[in-house]
Amino acid sequence: MQQLLAGKTAPILIVLLAIGLFWYAAAIWMNAPWQTTLNQRAGLENVSATEFIGQTWSQDKPVLPAPHQVAGEIWNATVGTDIASKRSLAYHASITLSATLLGFALGTLLGIGLAVVIVHNDASERSLMPWIIASQTIPILAIAPMVVVGLGAVGVTGLLPKALISMYLSFFPVVVGMVKGLRTPEAIQLDLMHTYSATPWQVFSKLRWPASIPFLFASMKVGVAISLIGAVVGELSNNAGGGLGVRLLTGSYNGQTIQIWAALFIAAALAAVLVIAVGAAEKLANRAMGVRA
Amino acid sequence: MTELAPPSQDAMAVVRAQNLGLTFSTNDGDVIALSDVNLTINKGEFVSFIGPSGCGKTTFLRTIADLEQPTSGTLTVNGTTPSDARLNRAYGYVFQAPALYPWRTIAQNVALPLEIMGLADKAERIARTLELVNLTGFENKYPWQLSGGMQQRASIARALSFDADLLLMDEPFGALDEIVRDHLNSELLKLWARTRKTIAFVTHSIPEAVYLSTKIVVMSPRPGRVTDIIESDLPAERPLDIRETPEFLRLAARVRDGLRAGHSYEE
Amino acid sequence: MSATTNTGLSRLQLWLALGAGAVSVLGLALALVAGDAPVHLLAFLLLGTATLLRLRLPVPLWIDGLLMLMGAIALLLTLPLFVAEPSYFWLALLACWAFAWLFVERLSQAIRTRQLSGRVFGLLIPVLFGVALLFIWEVVTRGANVPQVLLPAPSQIWTRLLASVPTLVADFQQTFLKAVLAGYAMGCGAGFIVAILVDRSPFLKRGLLPIGNFVSALPIIGIAPIMVMWFGFDWQSKAAVVVAMTFFPMLVNTVAGLNQASSIERDLMRTYAASYSQTLLKLRLPAAAPFIFNALKINSTLALIGAIVAEFFGTPIVGMGFRISTEVGKLNIDLVWAEIAVAAVAGSAFYGVIALIERAVTFWHPSVRGGRA
């Protein structure tokens, strides 16, 4: 027990358990007023406390759905529904996921490319870097609806507009991280390459690039998470295309709280899977490069 | 080891360790950092602790300062437990690094213990202690604007500012170069002569230990223990070139022998 | 370093110079054949051609800058003359762009070799780049008749911005002054307080921190519809989204910052028998300041994004996010861009203010000290 408490797992589980209990309690508290009204309308009297609590945990459109309701909805909408159906959460998740991945890949490539240019040419560093940093301070996501609608008006629809938003969001951390990473080799290491009369390409491929890999993965973890946010927000402006953002939006229009929470949890799970996948790739790359985990 | 100090000297004892032991439990098993240490530091003495790394010299100093808890034996500081001595603010501690707070000026750094202890006449104490370490005029500089040697002098001023009679110094000049270190050593001796404080000084430099001390405690590792205690017969007045005299070299040779003896079983 | 020729130009600069000259020659030829080119454009193309003389005698970098400026003015003056711009117009734009690039290349080379002060001219380069971007945007959208729904010209956006100041001010008040500031203060404050409480319990620290880190990576913005249901359409629900988005970065950063004090610094406090609150106030909070400011900076951007996106899910008929989503529907893209310009300025100013406070408070930190030198 002592050993368990000293590690991380037990504290995390206990905190999660506490959150779960708090959630159930909050569900009773927040759903109670409406349940009381419902019971009065139905002429029900003398509802026992346990029965009442059960009712607050099983409303149709609760203010706060209980965890098991959300879990049930997730189960029904993924395993319980045909994947091709528009009611399947797996279908919507796959739409969001493909936009995220496309945008993330484009953004990472763009970010690496820009970083390479910036590190090798000081005119472009002086021109670009202040703007890249300044652009991180502005709420870029606000342009999402415009990109979707603007491109839609000229006939570009589907995955690409959303992916562009994701790309736009995810390339910033990659540029900043990679510029830092490509600059990590110290003067003596660069001097060593100089004594070998290494070509610029050799300096890049044998020194700068390997040195920047840890920075690349660190920024990719940030990038993939905001790629997903970009895709979800992009979907808010295009109800027809489907995706988790659309589920959030329709759920909000129809007051389907359980649906909103289910979409939210799927999005969270997606983010977790993506970040963990990048983390796993990082471990593989580290092992291949002989870094001890 | 040493025989227990005679009762008449008891009133003079600032630090008394009897059969002191300290064992760290780590994932790789227990590490005996100190084993059966018997030692007395008397008032006004300058005691150096010397030995290779892992011999427990820093651990012993930290135990006096109540930064580590002994696992066996007894230890008294000013006749009380180390914990009470700490709460009474009985000692000033100088660490291996200056550990000055970068957001405070030199004067504010020296004032830090005064603020915490709620002492009055801060300005006078700051001026006096900065003068002791020859830093007058640098009150309003920030630590990062000073050289390493000056930073360490400021940290000594900080340890002196609240007038504790015992000064614990853990390799304070270890990170400095030889020339700066020589200079600070002679300054430290002058400071000790002026203030008559009791000083416990950890070092891994034989010349430094012999030059500074009235008593040299030689320690050896695995388990950390005291192998020799050498009373220095050097005169109180010690110019830097005393280090070329035969008396000095004889003492240094004895310290070196003690260190070698502690090491011999390793091979 | 780079290969230089007797013209004093690096290889890249030489290619740019040749390109700029060659494009000018081609443009000049086409303009003369067409015969309808205005005088100022012809003059620019002629001077551009003349720069090819630099193969014989060196041309100072200011000439390139002057040509860039002249080309830009000539292009702007030519813009209204045609409905569909002729091909030499685009060649002139290309030449103008090449001169600008060449100018910036040579300017940064001069700064690198310390012929020019980096402090003054180092600032000129990004400004030039920004202006060039706006200029190309203007010329391309108007010259190529890009549909307004895809991308309006900057001048159009500016006119629209000036015409709709009252609307924009009302939106700014609703979204920024109410939702963002209130949510930001509450979210950062709560994150900070919880971090200090959590810090006292190693158990909670181990349990909450991984969860906090994880939640920071989630699309928290998705809770916006729920918050709108709970707190209504007005700014309170947006503030609630902002609270949720800013809480975790603050929590995680503050807890990490509180661990920044080194063990020697803590031991020092212990030798003084300092109390918990003394150690917190005099050591650990100052040491944590860089981390706390980092969270404050991250959160300044997140807060604005959170409030704007939350307004996509329902608002009273005012607010930046509301305006963006409804005007997009009406295809008033210029107004949307005006709103985005306001958001961008507000966001950068918000960030800038916090960065300035950070410089004043954490003046001692190496990253700030280095930045000054």
3-state secondary structure B63-123: HHCCCCCCCEEEEEECCECHHHHHHCCCEEEECCCCCCCCCCCHHHHHHHHHHHHCCCCHH
pLDDT at residue C250, as a whole number = 93
What's the CA gap between C307 and A142, in Å, rounded?
A: 10
Domain formed by A89-288, architecture: Orthogonal Bundle (1.10)
What's the CA gap between A123 and A240, in Å, rounded?
A: 44
Tell me the nearest-neighbour CA distance from A15 into chain C, angstroms.
6
Across chain C, what does the average pLDDT equal?
A: 87
Q: Is the pLDDT of residue A55 over 90?
A: no
pLDDT at residue C143, as a whole number = 87
Tell me the nearest-neighbour CA distance from A288 into chain C, angstroms.
27
Contacts C344 to A, Cβ<8 Å:
138-139
pLDDT digits 0-9 by tens, C288-319: 999 999 999 989 988 998 999 888 887 888 88
Structure tokens at B123: 């300005």
pLDDT at residue A244, as a whole number = 87
Per CATH, the number for B7-90+166-266 is 3.40.50.300
Query: Is the CB of C271 less than 8 angstroms away from the CB of B86?
Result: yes
pLDDT at residue A143, as a whole number = 81
Confidence of residue A152 (pLDDT cuts 50, 70, 90): confident
The verdict on ipTM greater than 0.90 is no
Tell me the nearest-neighbour CA distance from B243 into chain C, angstroms.
33
**Chains B vs A: touching, with 3+ CB pairs under 8 Å?**
no
pLDDT digits 0-9 by tens, B154-194: 999 999 898 888 999 999 988 888 888 888 898 899 889 88
Query: Is the CB of B87 less than 8 angstroms away from the CB of C273?
Result: yes
Beta strands B198-203 and B46-50, pairing class: parallel
pLDDT at residue B260, as a whole number = 82
Query: Is the CB of C365 less than 8 angstroms away from the CB of B99?
Result: no
Of B93, B102, B117, the CB nearest to C364: B102
**3 state DSSP class of C10:** strand
Long-range contacts of C365-373, Cβ-Cβ distance < 8 Å, separation of 24 or more: C365/B102, C365/C289, C365/C290, C366/B144, C367/C290, C369/B144
Query: Is the CB of C286 less than 8 angstroms away from the CB of B101?
Result: yes
Quick check: B112 contacting C, CB < 8 Å?
Answer: yes
Lowest-confidence region among A239-243, B212-216, B220-224, C166-170: A239-243
Interface residue of C260, C271, C280, C282 to substitute, partner B, most B CBs within 10 Å: C271
Q: Is the pLDDT of residue A213 over 70?
A: yes
Interface residue of A170, A194, A227, A248 to substitute, partner C, most C CBs within 10 Å: A248
Q: Is the pLDDT of residue C4 over 70?
A: no
Percent of chain B past pLDDT 70, that is, above it, reads 94
pLDDT digits 0-9 by tens, B3-56: 444 444 455 789 999 999 998 888 778 888 898 899 999 999 999 999 888 888
What's the CA gap between C223 and A2, in Å, rounded?
A: 38
- How confident is the model over C11-30, as a mean pLDDT? 89
Phi-psi region of B238 (alpha: psi -120 to 50; beta: other; left: phi over 0): beta
Q: Is the pLDDT of residue A113 over 90?
A: yes
Residues 6 or more apart whose Cβ sits within 8 Å of residue A246: A92, A235, A236, A238, A239
Of B93, B96, B144, the CB nearest to C271: B93
Of C128, C228, C351, the CB nearest to A137: C351
- How confident is the model over C32-49, as a mean pLDDT? 88
What's the CA gap between C38 and C80, in Å, rounded?
A: 11
Confidence of residue C136 (pLDDT cuts 50, 70, 90): very high
Residue type, C343: A
Query: Is the CB of C308 less than 8 angstroms away from the CB of A142?
Result: yes
Interface residue of C104, C205, C223, C229 to substitute, partner A, most A CBs within 10 Å: C229
What's the CA gap between B103 and B99, in Å, rounded?
A: 12
Where in chain A are all domains bearing CATH 1.10.3720.10?
89-288
Contacts C272 to B, Cβ<8 Å:
89, 112-113, 116-117
Query: Do residues B199 and B169 touch, judged by C-beta distance below 8 A?
Result: yes
Q: Where are the domains of chain B?
A: 7-90+166-266, 104-163
Give DSSP secondary structure letters for chain B. -PPPPPGGGGGGEEEEEEEEEEEEEETTEEEEEEEEEEEEEETT-EEEEE-STTSSHHHHHHHHTTSS--SEEEEEETTB-HHHHHHTT-EEEE-SS----TTS-HHHHHHHHHHHHT-S-HHHHHHHHHHHTT-TT-TTS-GGGS-HHHHHHHHHHHHHTT--SEEEEESTTTTS-HHHHHHHHHHHHHHHHHH--EEEEEES-HHHHHHH-SEEEEEETTTTEEEEEEE----S---GGGGGSHHHHHHHHHHHHHHHHHHGGG-
